[in-house]
Amino acid sequence: MHTILSRTHRPHFLGKAVDCVASVHLPSGAMCQKTAVKHPSSQMPSCDFKPDSYQGMSKERLLEIRKQNCHPMTMKVTYYRRPVFIHQGYMQWLWDVDGKRYLDLFAGVATVSVGHCHPRVNEAAVKQLKHLWHTTAIYIHPQIQEYAEKLVSLLPEPLKVVYLTNSGSEANDLATLMARVHTGNYDIITLRGSYHGGSPLALGLTSNTAYKYPVASGFGCHNTMCPDVFRGVWGGSHCRDSPVQTIRECSCSPGHCQANDRYIEQLKETFDTTVPHRIAAFFGEPIQGVGGAVQYPKNYLKETYKLVREKGGICIADEVQTGFGRTGGHFWGFQGHDVIPDMVTMAKGIANGFPMGAVVTTEEIARSFGKGLHFNTFGGNPFACAIASSVLDTIAEDRLQENCAVVGTYLLTELAKLRDKYEIVGDVRGKGLQIGVEMVTDKASCKPLPPEAMAEIFEDTKDMGVLIGKGGIYGQTFRIKPPMCITKDDVDFFLAVFDQALQNYTERR
């Protein structure tokens, strides 16, 4: 593990180039005329599924209602200059109302875990829908017990008590309350750049101005420096648990990471200056999601957990985006850091897009929380539990965790070639299918690529048939978090499209 003293340029490599949209050649109108596709014979991978013909409202009417009757934020997050009007999905594919097919590499913000409308999950949903939609957890129905037992079997001891919620924000709210009740302490520490939800309490945990309002929220929440080994003050070429490291040079002896030491010193300074001697908890994503797939030095969480527990706090792993096999090497992101948290929060991929979340904790913490009454009307809904149970079965039967490791590693290493080819690609990072590509004006300064430039590349990628996401404090990172069923052929298609979009931008400068 090493630390960086300076940045260096590396030789250029030719990235793979493939091509196309919806099983036909790339539409010439989608791109600048002077930026021809390198291999025009290549096409989007085939798909046997035939979507239904769209028979609904016109796009104009949909936009009109969106502007007039949906909350204003829906217009802010439409993402594209020319919006995508999604009609249907199947596995890694989406179709718009005009019948155009897209390769979905964002999965509804890392939420569609096993694939859009996966037949096995659909079958489980229909079966439960015909049997029982809802009853309260006041009654004992089999679905909640069956799911709880199945879920905790995938977690290490002593994590064995499940609280089911409706979302990740609610799960993090509940975890915050439980931590304070159990410890008798109040203050909570998170990392800068983190995202833990949009509810009034979770906004205190979240450290990103874009999500903040000028009102009081999340009292007792404090942020410490994020140990970002690419954009941060310290970092090196062996810091993180990823097939791809930064391009920063190192001066560390083998087995020692100066960057980790420096970031731990910053955490200790937070303890010495910002919080009382006793705290309630530390919240951390094993890999930051909305923050742009930011990874930490390998031992950072391990040392942080030790320090937090010495301060009387508990350690909470936010697995909303990293859980359920997405990181490939492990089922849970925290396992890649060789730690066992006191509490795990989860949502998104838990039910393949059906609204659901969970908190899993220890019997000791659960007993503390049992001194009061906590009840959730929809948590543990039999319909949600049946879907979530089927998702766990599907991850195992389709070997999706293994697919994340194999296909994700391939994608990361191929993206690293594009980093070396283009000056504007500053960093490629992640594990499995939790990937970030950070864009810069140049590698020497690492100044974030401006929003208008990001939008150009983003739009071109969409027009060529691939949907990706964006993140990072400055919106400078492309987020690639597809359904976990994607293939190497899909990856090759995306690499060609992304290569072409980067080339188009470079030539238009």
Question: DSSP states of 148-207 as a string?
Answer: HHHHHTTS-TT--EEEEESSHHHHHHHHHHHHHHHHS---EEEETT----SSTTHHHH--
Give the pLDDT band (50/70/90) at residue 190.
very high
Q: Over pLDDT 70: what percentage of the chain?
A: 91
Q: What is the pLDDT of residue 250?
A: 87
Q: Answer yes or no: is pLDDT of 16 > 70.
A: no
Q: Indicate the DSSP class of residue 465.
A: T
The arithmetic mean of pLDDT across residues 212-240, rounded, is 93
Give the pLDDT band (50/70/90) at residue 281.
very high
Q: Answer yes or no: is pLDDT of 391 > 50.
A: yes
Mean pLDDT of all residues belonging to the chain: 90
The arithmetic mean of pLDDT across residues 38-50, rounded, is 73
CA distance 148 to 163: 9
SS3 31: coil
Q: What is the pLDDT of residue 72?
A: 77
- Decide yes or no: CATH 3.60.40.10 for domain 120-397: no
Give the pLDDT band (50/70/90) at residue 42.
low
Q: Over pLDDT 90: what percentage of the chain?
A: 81
Q: Answer yes or no: is pLDDT of 462 > 50.
A: yes
Q: What is the pLDDT of residue 218?
A: 82
Is-above-0.85 flag for pTM? Answer: yes
Q: What is the pLDDT of residues 430-441, one digit of tens each?
A: 999 999 999 999
Question: DSSP states of 419-452 as a string?
Answer: HHH-TTEEEEEEETTEEEEEEBS-TTT-PBPPHH
Please provide residue 353's backbone torsions phi and psi, each rounded to the nearest 5 degrees: 110, -15
- The domains of the chain are located at 18-61+88-117+421-508, 120-397
Q: Answer yes or no: is pLDDT of 3 > 80.
A: no
| Residue that wins the pLDDT comparison between 17 and 198 | 198
Torsion of CA 254, 263, 334, 120, to 10 degrees: -110
Q: What is the pLDDT of residue 193?
A: 96
Q: Answer yes or no: is pLDDT of 489 > 80.
A: yes
Q: What is the pLDDT of residue 278?
A: 98
Are β-strands 343-346 and 188-191 bridged in parallel, bridged antiparallel, or unpaired? unpaired
Write down the CATH number for the domain with range 18-61+88-117+421-508. 3.90.1150.10
Q: What is the pLDDT of residue 303?
A: 98
Q: What is the pLDDT of residue 31?
A: 38
Give the pLDDT band (50/70/90) at residue 25.
very low
Strand order in the sheet with 477-480: 425-431, 434-439, 477-480, 469-471
